[in-house]
Structure 1
Amino acid sequence: MSETTAEIVLFDGFDELDAIGPYEVFENGAELGVALETRLVTLEGDTDEDGLVTASHGLCVEPERTLGEPDLLVVPGGGWTTEGGVRAVVEDGSIPAAVDECYTAGATVASVCTGGMILSEAGLLEGRPAATHHVAVDDLAETDANVVDERVVDDGDVLTAGGVTSGIDLALWLLEREFGEDVADAVSERMVHERRGEVFG
């Protein structure tokens, strides 16, 4: 069985739990034996002089490498209603373009929280059901996405999740979808996390 690669793309102002929650879920899955390698990545030049990315609450993270050609790309949110973060990413356009390239190359793309705004800018939510954090619902509704009030939305090769902790449920659903319910249940138990809400889609 070939190994699945998952990459979580970081940028200044990303929400810590949006990225680290799914990372821990995936790493626990790997420790339980599934063929999954997870990497924290960034775009070339998107780190400071020390090679770090600073998250929305001040956590500094050193990405393992630059964005490659993952099977699964996870895009966190953070900072839609403030300067920096997702709003700056959308205005810059580099990450949305990279997300679109990964999708075009065959990657499944998932967003957490306001990361859905990045997927929208990448053109991936047109005509699709999608969820985001409540602070961005009105803005996402002004796009071509069909906004739904759900915790996790699975539209096949594009998935979205609501705010912050929903990223853990998203990642657990991806483990269940790709590797089986037993794996997801084992990781949920290991992390003492009670899964919430039905997956929409």
Structure 2
Amino acid sequence: MDIAILTFEGFNEMDTFVALSMLNRMKPCGWHIHLCSPNDHVTSMNGVTVKAHQPIEFANHADAVLVGSGKSSRDIARNGDLLRRMMFNPEKQCIGSQCSGALILSSLGLFQHSPACTDATTKPLLIESGATVLDQAFYAQGNLASAGGCLSSQYLSAWIIAKLASVEEAKRVVDYVAPIGEKEDTVERCLKVIEPYL
């Protein structure tokens, strides 16, 4: 499996690094996780610079695509040249957005027939884009998912693992990253959130 995490200038570290860490727990199963960006290097909203593993076009052929949030999401959602480089297909790919990443997927027309989740700041902008916004942490319809609130990134990652591998693998990964003394509760809560959408 090739999983693309779209990472833009001003990206939110929690969205990118939680997904990167959780999904990389699937390496023994042959998964390859790639940070994809329009630039060779991108700097997060808090000044962390990372090197892209792949250009953004790599995501067009990945098995799954996650679009994280960041302070430039609104500008990217209006950048026709950049949007034309993203050609995602929910019939062939699992696609998910985190917080303001939903603005980008909305601009690509992916939320025309599915409601979306996002953070409180992005909600009015996403509604303005024509999407229906839900007041919940996670929602998926078919192969298209969205999550709202930074800590909901665990749901998006677990959903990808459950969809492309198995629920048991998703439980294993969530259990690994869960706080000590709260593992059972964390796994149960995460699975309760994502299982209706598998």
TM-score, structure 2 as length reference: 0.84
Alignment match, 1:198: 193
CA contact (8 A) 2:6 2:36 kept: yes
Q: 1:130 aligns with which of 112, 116, 128?
A: 116
Q: 2:29 aligns with which of 25, 34, 46?
A: 34
Report the alpha carbon displacement of residue 23 of structure 1 after superposing the two structures with TM. 1.0
Number of residue pairs the alignment of both structures matches: 184
CA contact (8 A) 1:96 1:119 kept: no
The equivalences for 1:143-154 within 5 A come to 143-154=129-140
5+ residue gaps, structure 2: 180-185
Q: 2:55 aligns with which of 52, 66, 75?
A: 66
| In 2, Cα distance between equivalents of 1:184 and 1:108 | 15
Greater relative contact order (CA < 8 Å, ≥ 6 in sequence): 1
Query: Partner of 1:61: helix, strand, or coil?
Result: strand
Alignment match, 1:97: 84
Give the RMSD, CA atoms, in angstroms. 1.9
**CA distance 1:72–1:21, change in 2 (3 Å):** same
CA contact (8 A) 2:114 2:132 kept: yes
Q: 1:118 aligns with which of 100, 104, 115?
A: 104
TM-score, structure 1 as length reference: 0.83
The superposition leaves residues 179-198 of structure 1 with CA deviations (integer Å, 9 ceiling, x where unpaired) of 11221111112112524462
The superposition leaves residues 151-181 of structure 1 with CA deviations (integer Å, 9 ceiling, x where unpaired) of 1111112111102121122101221222112
Indicate the percent of aligned positions where both proteins have the same amino acid. 23
